Amino acid sequence: MSALILDGKALSKQLETELEARVSVLRQKMNGKTPILATILVGDDPSSATYVKMKGNACRRIGMDSLRVELGSDTTTEQLLTRIEQLNANPLVHGILLQHPVPHPIDERACFDRIALAKDVDGVTSLGFGRMALGEPAFGSATPAGIMHLLNHYRITLEGQRAVVVGRSPILGRPMAMMLMNANATVTVCHSRTRNLPELVRQADIVVGALGRPEYIKGDWIRDGAVVVDAGYHEGGVGDIELEAVKDRVSAYTPVPGGVGPMTITTLMRQTVEAAEKSLQG
């Protein structure tokens, strides 16, 4: 079987070209100003710093500005909440990204939820999640929203399909399940403590690996002809799924790297551009 490669890298380049044109239009309407994505980095975690840098680079590629806010690891919850409020009140900022995770003992959920809904372009607020789950207007969490865009682009049938999402994080597994359900898939959410996990995965037409553990989902758990979405990325260039064991048996899969990752960043850019466009509509 020749599997369809769900190439997120190629699609993200195509989307960036489209976003560059939209930013150009916005610049004209905004008297030379461009949309701004504010990124907040708390602490000195090198991986988080790399991710923030990548997002800033993506902003520049499409002609958009980024505002990088860096705070020390001794920042308190109240200090971070105050900084978020300042960004909420800044009309030049159209999107706010608080890089996960923040240092302990900051109340990350309280800080996520302080982000204004209109600027929650990473889809991390409780209000945004609730509205998305109910099919109401809201920006979805960037990674699952990027996955949905990728699946739709390659015309992967979702309606009536049995999907198994392995992982239940509030910014990936849970919103992924809600988005698939809203697309009329029948969804089972599993996790590391799920009993008979291999048997449940074998029933799936669509498998989403979102657990955050390298190659935790074994190749022999996945049935022939399934669609495999691997949202993980770990040292050695592997994801959450044993992809090498299934590439010749499945109907479609996301490569690691080059599948889900590029779509996450491009989705963040796209939703920031949408936020700027909506802000001009009043």
Set 7, 113, 120, 122: catalytic member: 122
Q: Which domain holds residue 237?
A: 142-261
CATH number for the domain spanning 228: value is 3.40.50.720
Q: For residue 282, is pLDDT > 90?
A: no
114 and 150, same domain (yes or no): no
Cβ atoms of 254 and 228 within 8 Å: the answer is yes
Please state the rounded mean pLDDT for residues 88-111: 96
Residue 114 sits in the same domain as residue 165: no
Residue 13 lies inside a defined structural domain of this protein: no
Res 196: pLDDT: 96
Residue 65 corresponds to which tokens in the numbers above? 């500005």
**Percentage helix, strand, coil, to 5, in the chain?**
45, 15, 40
Q: Residue 265: what are its φ and ψ, rounded to 5°?
A: -70, -40
Give yes or no: 278 in active site: no
Q: Do 109 and 151 fall into the same domain?
A: no
- Say which of 7, 99, 113, 240 is annotated catalytic: 99
- Residue 170 shares a structural domain with residue 247: yes
pTM over 0.75: yes
pLDDT tens-digit map of 144-182:
999 999 999 999 999 999 999 999 999 999 999 999 999
Which string of DSSP letters, residue by residue, matches 120-164? -TT--SHHHHHHHHTT-S-PPPHHHHHHHHHHHHTT---TT-EEE
Structural element, H or E, at residue 39: strand 36-42
Please identify which of the residues 55, 119, 120, 240 carries the catalytic annotation.
Answer: 55
Q: Is 142 exposed, middle or buried, given 0-12, 13-18 or 19+ CB atoms closer than 10 A? A: buried
Asked if 44 is an active-site residue, the reply is no
Active site residue 281: no
pLDDT of residue 195: 96
Q: Based on the fold, state whether residues 168 and 253 are members of the same structural domain.
A: yes
* 147 in the same domain as 189: yes
In the predicted model, what is the mean pLDDT of residues 56-76? 96
